[in-house]
Amino acid sequence: MTTTPSTPSVGRPLTRLEGEAKVTGLAPYAYEYALTDPLYLGPVLSTVARGRVSAVDTARAEELPGVRAVLTPANAERLADTEDREFAVLQSDEVSFRGQFVAAVVADTPETAREAAGLVDVAYETLAHDVTLTADHPRLYRPEEVNTGVEADTEQGDPDAALARAAVVVDRTYRTPMEHNNPMEPHTTVALWDEGGGRLTLYDSTQGAHPVRHTVAGVFGLDPERVRVVAPYVGGGFGSKGSAHAHNVLAAMAARAVPGRPVKFALTRQQMFSLVGYRTPTIQRLRLGADRDGRLDAVVHDVVEQTSKIKEFAEQSGVCTRMMYAAPHRRTTHRLAPLDAPIPFWMRAPGEAPGMYALESAMDELAHECGVDPVELRLRNEPPVDPSTGEPWSDRALVRCLREGAERFGWHGRDPAPGARREGDWLVGTGVASAMYPHMVNPGSVAEIRYGEDRRYHVGIGAADIGTGALTALTQIAADALGRPLSEVVVSIGDTDLPEASVAGGSSGTTSWGAALVAAARVFRAEHGEAPAPGASARGTAPEDTATPGYSQYSFGAHFVEARVHADTGEIRVPRMLGLFSVGRVVNPRTARSQFLGGMVMGLSMALYEQSVVDPAFGHVVNHDLAQYHVAVHADVSGLEADWLEGEDPHAGPLGSRGVGEIGIVGTAAAVANACHHATGVRVRNLPLTPDLFL
Ligand code: MOS
């Protein structure tokens, strides 16, 4: 940036530019586009977990007035690419999990579609199924790699020997349950083929228009240019919308069966519990070997998780332990049990969220064993360089987050003895945990800038704003990169007709797309100067090495929690949470703070409530709605404070910023569990922390 206007836009706490359109109902979500003569899709989901569809009787459904088509494995079109079995919708009679698509109805109204779907009579040949994860599952295997493309197992030094000679050993197993993404807006797609059948448009609720285009184009054997995905407004996304799923394919197939008519398909809340991914349950064994002062000599983190038999997803839960603390001897492993279960996928901070729950719980147990303050224990194990790579840290500020967070929270002076503080019927305790999240940057996003007749800079990039404030942040970044006031910049996102952009995932969006905006602004200013003629335009691409190579780049944070556990009922209340984070430069303090708070509330939710209960007899999630799948609500949150260290990361990219979307949920559940232990003396090693476990 050669010049910036006297008042830079980056760093200002702007409200969301699209906020008014959203709250007044003017911003269309995927289901709401006013299309001509839409039809509606009603899916039929398998009622067995494993087997074969032996017969489908569609007669009663077809007789219902208003039914336009019934798709079954027998009549559905053959897809071009069926290798990824998540997308091989209706391509065979095989049933691989309960809740899989086995048929679909297209009808004039959503009510008719739903009724007709209920009239499709599916007969099954049922086979024995296995939907239960156990630590010694007979089919456990080591995946080739885990999510984010890193190795499944690592080993440094001789951890077994180090554990054998350690003065203090913590050897504990922690469990986290299956959890489901529940964005306010369910996964929704509206599919429309053009008259010739050669071009497909999807109005989709997604974290990545271009990624959905590439997947759907591949499945249908189309040039990606022939698939347009439109998603400017999205009602929340926590990872499950980071990829296309089977419903996109089904809607597109259904629309092809009714030429010229758009087909609208919004999954119900219940249907989302089998079709769009979930956080795998985990069984994590942590072994820490330390001296009596709590200095780690060995760390071993062995992870067992589940995946689906038809598609592998390996959550990287042990990866955080590779870099978090100094210890010369360490090992991390991941093993998967392939089950007759739906396909797991991303859910906010996949890997770090469950992994740091286990590691930070074990660290609290070690502090207790050694009689060392839990904050001090972490300071004693601070690694000078990344222990997994030997690289220098770009900006490791964990110590500051812990120290300054402890001051602000009023940590010091606590009686370390569990169960020492009682106020009336409530046992009161405090807990701490570290947070971390890798600085992820996706290369290759492209931005275009065109100077309009209206004397404004029109910036286009196919990025996604899932409710985070990305559009606002990108407008701030573009304004500064162009050296113009905010009022002269209009950014458009969420459409594959705009230049290619990476997924809104891994907390990478602002950095990755922002780098493209900065690159495009540089080109524009070099080519057209500061007084461009209307019509002037330029494009720029985010470079491969947006982040400086050779540095280990992570965001860090510290969570401090006060918990109260009722002495008679075990009810848990969390009156105070403080998260202090280090994320480099903050582009928009208002929306960033909102991300931290949202992550912390989701972490509280993970600690106290979230749990998908699978019925082993039938293989489905029993509590598949928001009445029974509990999430933290306003009444659960009282004193909630999120803040960050000022500064920028000189190696993070042109903005000096790292992601803010996911770190808020990392470590939070451990801080809550540690506070509950401090309050009661009861150490619960599985989530969620239900009241009965404290009695
Ligand atoms: Mo986030 S789970 O990477 O969308």
Is 347 close to ligand 1, i.e. is its CB under 6 Å away? Answer: yes
In testing the pocket of ligand 1, which one of 147, 319, 348, 595 has its CB within 8 Å of the most ligand atoms? 348
Confirm whether 9 is domain-assigned: no
Q: Is 658:515 a contact under the CB 8 Å cutoff?
A: no
Q: Is 658:584 a contact under the CB 8 Å cutoff?
A: yes
Which structural domain range is residue 217 located in?
Answer: 33-128+182-275
Distance 465 CA to ligand 1 centre (A): 13
Residue that finishes a domain, picked among 275, 294, 324: 275
Q: Whose CA is closest to atom 4 on ligand 1?
A: 239
ipTM: 0.96
In testing the pocket of ligand 1, which one of 465, 602, 662 has its CB within 8 Å of the most ligand atoms? 662
Residue 649 has pLDDT above 50, yes or no: yes
Confirm whether 138 is domain-assigned: no
Same domain for 616 and 471: no
Average pLDDT on 530-549 reads: 96
Strand order in 94-95's β-sheet?
A: 94-95, 51-57, 121-126
Confirm whether 3 is domain-assigned: no
* Closest-lying ligand 1 atom to the alpha carbon of residue 350: 2
CA-CA-CA-CA dihedral for 249, 252, 257, 260, to nearest 10 = 180
Band of pLDDT at residue 195, cut at 50, 70 and 90? confident
Phi first, then psi: give them for residue 461, nearest 5 degrees.
Answer: -160, 140
Band of pLDDT at residue 2, cut at 50, 70 and 90? very low
Confirm whether 7 is domain-assigned: no
Residue 350 has pLDDT above 50, yes or no: yes
Same domain for 74 and 63: yes
The whole-angstrom separation of Cα 422 and Cα 431 is: 16
Distance 435 CA to ligand 1 centre (A): 16
Mean pLDDT of the residues in the chain: 97
The whole-angstrom separation of Cα 299 and Cα 372 is: 18
Distance 53 CA to ligand 1 centre (A): 34
Same domain for 348 and 207: no
Band of pLDDT at residue 7, cut at 50, 70 and 90? confident
Q: For residue range 378-430, list pLDDT tens digits in order.
A: 999 999 999 999 999 999 999 999 999 999 999 999 999 999 999 999 999 99
Same domain for 505 and 357: no
Number of structural domains found in the chain: 3
Residue 427 tokens, joined? 């046992």
Is 438 close to ligand 1, i.e. is its CB under 6 Å away? Answer: no
Q: For residue range 147-193, list pLDDT tens digits in order.
A: 999 999 999 999 999 999 999 999 999 999 999 999 999 999 999 99
The whole-angstrom separation of Cα 492 and Cα 478 is: 11
Which residues are registered as beta bridge partners of 263? 39, 191
Confirm whether 134 is domain-assigned: no
In testing the pocket of ligand 1, which one of 181, 346, 440, 665 has its CB within 8 Å of the most ligand atoms? 346
Q: At what angle do helices 246-256 and 209-220 cross, to 10 degrees?
A: 60
The whole-angstrom separation of Cα 597 and Cα 612 is: 24
Same domain for 558 and 473: no
Is 279 close to ligand 1, i.e. is its CB under 6 Å away? Answer: no
Same domain for 522 and 453: yes
Is 348 close to ligand 1, i.e. is its CB under 6 Å away? Answer: yes
Instruction: Give the residue numbers annotated as catalytic, written as ranges.
Output: 662
Closest CA to 76 of 57, 90, 93: 90
Same domain for 92 and 37: yes
* Closest-lying ligand 1 atom to the alpha carbon of residue 506: 3
Average pLDDT on 200-226 reads: 98
Is 505 close to ligand 1, i.e. is its CB under 6 Å away? Answer: yes
Average pLDDT on 308-316 reads: 98
The whole-angstrom separation of Cα 496 and Cα 217 is: 12
Closest CA to 329 of 557, 169, 439: 169
* Closest-lying ligand 1 atom to the alpha carbon of residue 348: 2
Is 239 close to ligand 1, i.e. is its CB under 6 Å away? Answer: yes
Closest CA to 444 of 660, 210, 146: 210
Same domain for 256 and 211: yes
Percentage of the chain surpassing pLDDT 70?
99
Is 653 close to ligand 1, i.e. is its CB under 6 Å away? Answer: no
**Whether pTM exceeds 0.95:** yes
Residues in the chain: 695
DSSP letters of 120-164? -EEEEEE--------TT-TT-B--SEETTTEES-EEES-HHHHHH
Q: Is 278:347 a contact under the CB 8 Å cutoff?
A: yes
SS3 category, 643: strand
Judged by phi (left if over 0) then psi (alpha if -120 to 50, else beta), residue 424 lies in: left
Residue that finishes a domain, picked among 228, 247, 275: 275
Same domain for 86 and 106: yes
Q: For residue range 103-134, list pLDDT tens digits in order.
A: 999 999 999 999 999 999 999 999 999 999 99
Is 584 close to ligand 1, i.e. is its CB under 6 Å away? Answer: no
Q: Is 638:629 a contact under the CB 8 Å cutoff?
A: no
Residue 1 has pLDDT above 50, yes or no: no
Residue 692 has pLDDT above 70, yes or no: yes
Residue 556 tokens, joined? 């860090």
Same domain for 421 and 468: no
Rg (CA), the chain: 26
> Residue 99 is part of a domain; what is its CATH number?
3.30.365.10
* Closest-lying ligand 1 atom to the alpha carbon of residue 504: 4
Band of pLDDT at residue 518, cut at 50, 70 and 90? very high
Which residues are registered as beta bridge partners of 595? none
Closest CA to 689 of 630, 640, 641, 638: 630
Confirm whether 293 is domain-assigned: yes
Distance 241 CA to ligand 1 centre (A): 8
First to last CA, the chain: 60
Same domain for 328 and 405: yes
Residue 327 has pLDDT above 60, yes or no: yes
Same domain for 395 and 328: yes
Q: For residue range 296-308, list pLDDT tens digits in order.
A: 999 999 999 999 9
Element (H, E) at 527: helix 509-528
CA-CA-CA-CA dihedral for 611, 612, 616, 620, to nearest 10 = 170
Confirm whether 14 is domain-assigned: no
DSSP letters of 240-306? GGGS--HHHHHHHHHHHTSTT--EEEE--HHHHHHHS--BPPEEEEEEEEE-TT--EEEEEEEEEEE
* Closest-lying ligand 1 atom to the alpha carbon of residue 503: 4
Confirm whether 429 is domain-assigned: yes
Residue that finishes a domain, picked among 503, 521, 541: 541
